[in-house]
Structure 1
């Protein structure tokens, strides 16, 4: 395409502007010091690699913290929450990435659907060991019986391999649609969702040399439209990214796509927090919210 279908500035100044917006962000509720962003997706889609890429962008050099791989089975077997640090002083940013076992086509393998509901509601502790054949039960050690708003998920990110959208197995598509349904029913308000398409540089030859052509690529646009149709999600809630995997140094164009994705997550998380009054207590449940609304 001659003209991009999403207009972005691909300059160091734009990168710095995005960085400033994210590093100065603060959740609107005092009871939520860090918004929680849950990552879900098929095995090998690039969930952990995306976290590592975000961490690299904010650290100023390529780094790996979350274990990433390309095995047929999920490398991640625990529920993990990762903070992101900014710069050499290690300032912790006000958002947490929540990593999970990957989704698998076969029943009884990969992340259990009932575990997704427990995570969304805030019952699952950090380092919980997933059991693909059985969902987490309330009697499991560490189970959070009365989660507060800060323990709950504020935004769900579905990570998909952009080069495999058209061959996404039917059973996986059903699981992803079920996740969308659960996100709408987990709490009183819908948990907003964002889809990240990774590896877009592998589906369009011109992007291998210059990722800034991403929004001029008809192939990428087609994959995003197909994703919107298959998952029933608005195109505005789908963003493409390229993860760092072979590079030794950071690139402004790669950083810009990563930072735009993170900014969108924060905006969606903030829209979720907007549902709650500013004087929200640390313990939140539907009954208390209704009582508060009646008393105001």
Structure 2
């Protein structure tokens, strides 16, 4: 299936947004992809809250209607004082907005296409609109659509209120170079409590396009001191990552590796026969899949496969799972995708693997954060999305961390690095929880673990730096 993307131009989107306050538009339905039928429209658009329809015609008009009420096929006339019709065209400097006549119903909530009285879209399950005389909206057809009722495209967007900035952040962050250095030092000095371990192993799991590979590249860039692109990243309908990859991260161009290994996987997809297989994820958890194993969407890895590791140690296993979720798509996570996340969480819980959630693309999700990344914990919208993820995936809010990947930048940014380092610090803390739950068969091993904890505490409180210099 083709990728579902908006047909709005930058100028058209700007004019459409001018009708509202601080909002974000989420594309729910696109007729050329989902079908020019009322049934297809209602399957994706019912009970979505405030929405705006966007119709395109060959005459260059963009027109439609906004309602703050749900489509629910109630067969009732719905009153909505906030509803309006609109029209946008290149020839018109300002968009046309037509309010609903006071006391009149805004739309008819039927099983047909959107029915605003004056305009009925997807009329007769066709790529067309019907123009009617109406007591609800007084508008001339020529002004609305230039008498061209044949639709070249028809879309519906959910209108989400982004809110404003909170009076105080919901997490207190020190946005200073000292904080960046402190986080970096903590990460570099990390050492697992088990004597046979020298690193923590973290698995990145997420839907196609969530930003898993970009996250690794961003973390790698932050430690290298320059932009890197070691992991394949980009935009595509299917996962760009087709292999299981394990990545080490070096400090500087020729420095040593940090004590954390990031593992990247094929992206999750809605369909059961597409994307990463749940059985393969369990094999990864247990350490059975080797680096560069080529995933198959048709069947999970078999024990006699070349990429299967039969004999595993604690070093091969996954010690923490980080779910990577695109903040812009939190509200659009389908029941099938949520079911996949739930299935993975269940398997991880059974193996005692701690998990956290990384919200990527926070700057794309909220303009206030794009203006200043330090607004990330003051943004009402980002807080709402974090709470929604917490509830949808069944994890505490403290397990949800917003991050920003490097995507178009050519230089590193201190605030971006702070968010990335905070995420790494939590990964290491959670990996420690995994190690602490491991039962040591050798009593001598337990003694050495306690000695290591004592030594590690001394290292962390000492002002001296280790072999890595943090700048």
**With structure 2 as the length reference, what TM-score do the two structures score?**
0.58
1:51 aligned onto 2:51: no
Question: What is the CA–CA distance in structure 2 between the aligned matches of 1:12 and 1:98, rounded to whole Å?
Answer: 28
Question: What is the CA–CA distance in structure 2 between the aligned matches of 1:280 and 1:249, rounded to whole Å?
Answer: 49
Question: What is the CA–CA distance in structure 1 between the aligned matches of 2:442 and 2:417, rounded to whole Å?
Answer: 35
Provide the aligned length of Structure 1 versus Structure 2.
278
1:1-296 aligned within 5 A: 1-185=166-350, 187=351, 190-276=352-438
CA drift at 1:277: 5.1
CA drift at 1:279: 7.3
1:222-276 deviation per Cα after TM superposition (whole angstroms, max 9, x unaligned): 0000001110011110100010010011111100000000100000001110113
Tell me the equivalent position of 2:47.
none
Greater fraction helix: 1
Whether the aligned pair in 2 keeps the contact of 1:154 and 1:192 (CA below 8 Å) is yes
Question: What is the CA–CA distance in structure 1 between the aligned matches of 2:226 and 2:419, rounded to whole Å?
Answer: 16
Which structure 2 segments of 5+ residues have no match? 1-165, 444-471
Question: What is the CA–CA distance in structure 1 between the aligned matches of 2:371 and 2:442, rounded to whole Å?
Answer: 49
Question: What is the CA–CA distance in structure 1 between the aligned matches of 2:285 and 2:402, rounded to whole Å?
Answer: 24
Of residues 209-218 and 85-94 in structure 1, the stretch that sits farther from structure 2 once superposed is 85-94
CA drift at 1:278: 6.2
CA drift at 1:24: 1.1
CA drift at 1:147: 1.1
1:4-38 deviation per Cα after TM superposition (whole angstroms, max 9, x unaligned): 01000001111111011111111111222221100
CA drift at 1:89: 3.1
Whether the aligned pair in 1 keeps the contact of 2:243 and 2:265 (CA below 8 Å) is yes
CA drift at 1:87: 2.0
Which structure 1 segments of 5+ residues have no match? 282-296
Of residues 198-207 and 83-92 in structure 1, the stretch that sits farther from structure 2 once superposed is 83-92
Question: What is the CA–CA distance in structure 2 between the aligned matches of 1:214 and 1:280, rounded to whole Å?
Answer: 46
Question: What is the CA–CA distance in structure 2 between the aligned matches of 1:192 and 1:102, rounded to whole Å?
Answer: 20
1:116-175 deviation per Cα after TM superposition (whole angstroms, max 9, x unaligned): 111001110111100011001101013111211111100001000011011111111100
Q: Which has the higher contact order (CA 8 A, sep 6+)?
A: 1
Q: In structure 1, the residue corresponding to 2:201 is in which secondary structure?
A: strand
Whether the aligned pair in 1 keeps the contact of 2:168 and 2:378 (CA below 8 Å) is yes
**With structure 1 as the length reference, what TM-score do the two structures score?**
0.91
Tell me the equivalent position of 2:151.
none
1:202-239 deviation per Cα after TM superposition (whole angstroms, max 9, x unaligned): 12111112101100000000000000111001111010
Q: In structure 2, the residue corresponding to 1:160 is in which secondary structure?
A: strand
RMSD across aligned positions (CA): 1.3
Question: What is the CA–CA distance in structure 1 between the aligned matches of 2:442 and 2:236, rounded to whole Å?
Answer: 43
Question: What is the CA–CA distance in structure 1 between the aligned matches of 2:439 and 2:353, rounded to whole Å?
Answer: 17
